[in-house]
Homo-oligomer: A and B are copies of this chain.
Amino acid sequence: MPKISDEKRNARRAQILEAAWVCFQKEGLHATTMEDIIRASGLSAGAVYSYFKSKDELIIAAVTTSLTQLRGLLEPLLARDPLPDQLIHQVVAAVGTFAARDKYDLRRIALLGWSEAQRNERLRATMREFYLVFRKQIEAAATRWKKAGVLKAGASADDVAKTLLSLILGFVVQSAIVGDVDADDLAGGLRQLAAGRR
């Protein structure tokens, strides 16, 4: 076969990555065998290995791809300059939407990725970087909130960003493990905590 076009190469990569995710979500990162992925991708072992040179490589690529998709989902939301509870509502709703698809649940992916990051230096660095950037973006929003008078002038934009990020990450866990949480719950809960007199 003659040289394959870049387009086709990328399509094949995506095809393998998708097959990998289907398996990873069903079985977890380690319990998924390369044979599972190979079968799910419809290709041969050799073909899969010509695109990803090891299972580890495939895991990293899969997680990284998810992170990239997640970024594409979140950035437009932040750009709309929402209020804190609106931000939570929109982000959580967006993640939940992704979760609804049966083949691609961002929450499960996140949980697997976090676990793997503990023993995979490279993966940990990639994830850390991603969340750090996201936190910075929330911090920028918090600074705007201060200017707009939504937050007090003396508030720490950094602490607010850490708090909101925790809320979002915690939603992922709570929704995957406990269930029965949605965007309205968290946005509402946050609003009520804020509305209380202190």
Q: Chain A: residues with CB nearer than 8 A to chain B?
A: 25-31, 84, 108, 111-112, 114-119, 124, 127-128, 131-132, 135, 145, 149-152, 155-156, 158-174, 176-179, 181, 184-186, 188-198
Known A-B contacts: A155-B195, A156-B189, A159-B189. Give 16 more (CB < 8 A): A28-B30, A28-B115, A117-B177, A131-B174, A131-B177, A151-B196, A160-B192, A160-B193, A163-B167, A163-B189, A163-B190, A165-B174, A166-B168, A166-B186, A169-B170, A170-B173
Contacts of A28 in B (CB 8 A): 30, 115-116, 118-119
Task: State whether A174 touches B193 (Cβ < 8 A).
Answer: no
Q: A115-B28, A193-B193 are in contact. Are A166 and B174 (CB under 8 A)?
A: yes
Contacts of A152 in B (CB 8 A): 192, 195-196
Measured in the bound complex, the distance between the Cα atoms of B197 and A166 in whole Å is 22
Contacts of A195 in B (CB 8 A): 151-152, 155, 198
Contacts of A186 in B (CB 8 A): 159, 162-163, 166
Q: A189 contacts which of B162, B173, B176 (Cβ < 8 Å)?
A: B162
Measured in the bound complex, the distance between the Cα atoms of B162 and A189 in whole Å is 7
Contacts of A151 in B (CB 8 A): 192-193, 195-196
Measured in the bound complex, the distance between the Cα atoms of B177 and A90 in whole Å is 23
Return A192 CB to nearest CB of chain B, in Å.
4
List the B residue with the shortest CB-CB distance to A161: B189
Contacts of A30 in B (CB 8 A): 28-31
Closest 4 pairs between A and B when the two form their complex, measured CB to CB: A163-B189, A170-B170, A166-B170, A115-B115
Return A92 CB to nearest CB of chain B, in Å.
9
Measured in the bound complex, the distance between the Cα atoms of B163 and A174 in whole Å is 10
Contacts of A198 in B (CB 8 A): 150, 191, 194-195
Contacts of A127 in B (CB 8 A): 177
